[in-house]
C-alpha cells in the first residue's frame, strides 16, 4: 500500500514501532503536497520546509508520545494556529497571524501532531463551495472543473488525494458532511458538546456549529475524535459526562432499525441519480443485517428551514458584527447574513427557537422507534467551480445562496451526531454521500455502524484520476 493510501492507524503504528520515522513521514507528505496540491489548491499557508523537518526530527527524539505523535496535519483555515496566517478566506484577515493556538489545535499538538499549514475554506466558512479571494478555489479531485463542497473542502480534498491521513473540519450547515460526500471520504459531526468550541465570545446562545474529524475510514474518525473531545470548564455544553467518554468501535454494533428519509417527501429537490446512488448504498446496510425502511416526513421541512435560517443569521451576524464598518468588503452572502441577523427582533428569535423545540420533540419520539435516520449529503452533484452556488435544482429555483444545502438542516438544527459516509458514484463519475444520524450522544454507535459499512464498501480506495 502506498503512503498516500495508508490509514492514519497504520501510519501511527509504524511511527510508534520505529518502522517509520517522523522525518520520513514528513518528507513523503511534503513530496505528495508538491506533486498534487498545485492541481487542487487544498493546502494553503504551508509552513517553511526546514522548520517542518526540524520539528519532525525533534519528534523522532522525543520520549513522550501522544496518540498522534509524528503525524503531519493541516488545520482548516477558520481555526487559529500560532505563527501561521489565519485568514478565514477574507482579505480583511489576510495579514493576521495569531500568537496562540485555538483549543482544538492545542489538543492536537499535545497529542503529538505536527501542524504543517492550513486547508482551504470559503470566506468565513459561508456556502458549501470552497473559494475565496485570498487563496482562490479548491477543486474537486474527481473532476477539477467542479466544486469540492465546503466549508471543509480543503480538508476533504487533502484526504482524498492522500496529502494527509487525518483532517479537522467544522460544521454549521453541512461543512463536514457535504465535502465528505463530494470527495468520497468520511466526515463526522459529533453531538453538541463532545468537541468544545473555542471558549471566546458568547458560549450560550449560538449552539449551531461544532468542530469534528474527517478521515478515510470511521476507525480513523474515532481516533481523531477522541483527541478533539473532552470537557472544557469555559464551555458549559462540553461538561456532560457521557460525552467525555472515549469512543471505542468494539464490540461491533448489532442489527439496527434505520429510517430512510430520501427527499423528505419531495420537499428537497434532488438532481437525477442522487437518490438511486444512496439507495444502492442502503442495500449494503441491509446486507449487513440492518432493517431499512422508507419514512414519510416526520416534520414540515419549511418549518425546519424557517427556524434554521433565522437562528443561522442570528449566529453568523454575531460573528461578523466586528466587520460592520467594513461590510462592503465582505462577500455578498456574508453581507446578507450580517444585515439579516442584525435586523432580527427578540420575538423572531424566540419563535425560531420554539420551532426548533417542536422539531426536537418529534425527533426524540422518532428515535425511540429508529436507531438511525438517513438523508443524502447533498441535493445536487458537484457543480461547476466558477459558480458561486446553484440557482436551480431539478427545475426548482433556489431562493437564497444556501437553499440548495437544505437537506443538512434537520441535523444541524438539533446538534445531532451525524456520519457522512461515501455512497458511491453516479453515472457521471462523481461521488455522493449519505448522512447517517442518530439521537444526541449516539456517536459511538454511528461510528461502529460506519466502520462495518466501510469494511464492505471501502469507497475511499477508489482514488481520484491522476
The catalytic site residues sit at 76, 151, 175
Residue 371 is given by DSSP the state: S
Report yes or no: 148 and 382 within 8 Å, Cβ to Cβ: yes
Strands 166-171 and 396-397: unpaired
Say whether 220 sits in a helix, a strand or coil: helix
* Of 16, 414, 410, 436, the residue nearest 218 (C-alpha): 436
Place of cell 458532511: 177
Report yes or no: 124 and 89 within 8 Å, Cβ to Cβ: yes
Residues 6+ away with beta carbon under 8 Å from 317: 337, 338, 339, 340, 341, 342, 344
Say whether 115 sits in a helix, a strand or coil: strand
* Of 154, 167, 179, the residue nearest 73 (C-alpha): 167
* Of 168, 179, 175, the residue nearest 68 (C-alpha): 168
d(CA 422, CA 216): 10
Distances (CA, A) of 53 to 114, 117, 167, 190, 415: 10, 13, 20, 33, 40
Q: What angle, rounded to 10 degrees, do the helices at 103-110 and 218-228 form?
A: 110
Residue 461 is given by DSSP the state: G
Report yes or no: 261 and 374 within 8 Å, Cβ to Cβ: yes
Strands 143-147 and 210-215: unpaired
Q: Which three cell numbers stand for residue 84?
A: 501561521
What radius of gyration do the chain's Cα atoms show?
Answer: 21
Buried b (16+ CB within 10 A) or exposed e, 317-334: bbbbeebeeeeeebbebb
d(CA 129, CA 309): 18
Residues 6+ away with beta carbon under 8 Å from 274: 376, 378, 379, 380, 381, 426, 432
Amino acid at each position: 500500500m502506498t503512503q498516500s493510501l495508508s490509514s492514519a492507524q497504520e501510519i501511527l503504528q509504524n511511527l510508534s514501532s520505529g518502522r517509520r520515522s517522523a522525518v520520513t513521514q514528513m518528507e513523503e507528505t511534503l513530496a505528495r503536497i508538491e506533486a498534487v496540491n498545485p492541481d487542487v489548491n487544498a493546502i494553503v499557508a504551508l509552513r517553511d520546509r526546514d522548520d517542518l523537518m526540524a520539528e519532525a526530527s525533534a519528534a523522532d527524539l522525543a520520549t513522550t508520545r501522544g496518540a498522534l505523535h509524528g503525524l503531519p496535519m493541516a488545520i482548516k483555515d477558520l481555526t487559529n494556529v500560532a505563527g501561521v496566517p489565519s485568514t478565514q478566506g477574507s482579505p480583511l484577515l489576510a495579514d493576521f497571524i495569531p500568537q496562540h493556538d485555538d483549543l482544538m489545535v492545542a489538543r492536537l499538538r499535545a497529542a503529538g501532531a505536527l501542524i504543517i499549514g492550513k486547508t482551504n475554506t470559503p470566506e468565513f466558512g459561508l456556502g458549501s463551495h470552497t473559494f475565496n479571494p485570498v487563496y482562490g478555489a479548491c477543486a474537486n479531485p474527481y473532476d477539477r472543473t467542479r466544486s469540492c463542497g465546503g466549508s471543509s473542502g480543503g480538508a476533504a480534498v487533502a484526504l482524498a488525494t492522500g496529502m494527509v491521513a487525518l483532517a479537522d473540519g467544522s460544521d454549521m450547515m453541512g461543512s463536514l458532511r457535504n465535502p465528505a460526500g463530494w470527495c468520497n471520504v468520511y466526515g463526522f459531526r459529533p453531538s453538541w458538546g463532545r468537541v468544545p468550541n473555542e471558549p471566546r465570545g458568547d458560549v450560550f446562545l449560538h449552539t449551531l456549529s461544532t468542530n469534528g474529524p474527517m478521515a478515510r475510514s470511521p476507525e480513523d474518525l474515532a481516533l481523531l475524535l477522541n483527541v478533539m473531545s473532552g470537557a472544557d470548564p469555559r464551555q458549559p455544553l462540553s461538561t456532560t459526562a457521557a460525552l467525555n467518554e472515549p469512543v471505542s468501535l468494539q464490540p461491533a454494533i448489532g442489527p439496527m432499525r434505520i429510517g430512510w428519509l430520501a427527499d423528505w417527501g419531495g420537499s428537497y429537490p434532488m438532481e437525477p441519480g442522487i437518490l438511486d446512488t444512496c439507495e444502492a448504498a442502503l442495500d449494503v446496510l441491509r446486507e449487513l443485517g440492518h432493517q431499512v425502511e422508507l419514512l414519510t416526513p416526520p416534520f414540515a421541512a419549511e418549518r425546519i428551514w424557517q427556524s434554521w435560517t433565522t437562528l443561522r443569521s442570528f449566529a453568523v451576524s454575531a460573528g461578523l458584527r466586528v466587520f460592520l464598518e467594513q461590510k462592503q468588503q465582505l462577500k455578498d452572502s456574508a453581507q446578507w447574513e450580517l444585515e439579516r441577523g442584525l435586523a432580527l427582533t427578540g420575538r423572531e428569535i424566540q419563535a425560531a427557537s420554539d420551532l426548533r423545540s417542536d422539531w426536537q420533540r418529534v425527533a426524540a419520539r422518532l428515535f425511540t422507534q429508529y436507531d438511525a435516520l438517513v438523508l443524502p449529503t447533498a441535493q445536487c452533484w458537484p457543480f461547476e467551480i466558477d459558480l458561486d452556488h446553484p440557482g436551480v435544482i431539478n427545475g426548482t429555483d433556489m431562493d437564497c445562496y444556501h437553499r440548495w444545502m437544505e437537506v443538512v438542516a434537520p441535523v444541524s438544527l438539533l446538534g445531532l451526531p451525524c456520519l457522512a459516509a461515501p455512497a458511491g458514484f453516479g453515472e457521471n463519475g462523481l461521488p455522493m454521500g449519505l448522512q447517517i444520524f442518530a439521537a444526541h450522544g449516539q456517536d459511538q454507535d454511528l461510528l461502529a455502524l460506519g466502520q462495518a459499512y466501510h469494511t464492505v464498501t471501502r469507497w475511499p480506495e477508489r482514488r481520484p484520476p491522476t
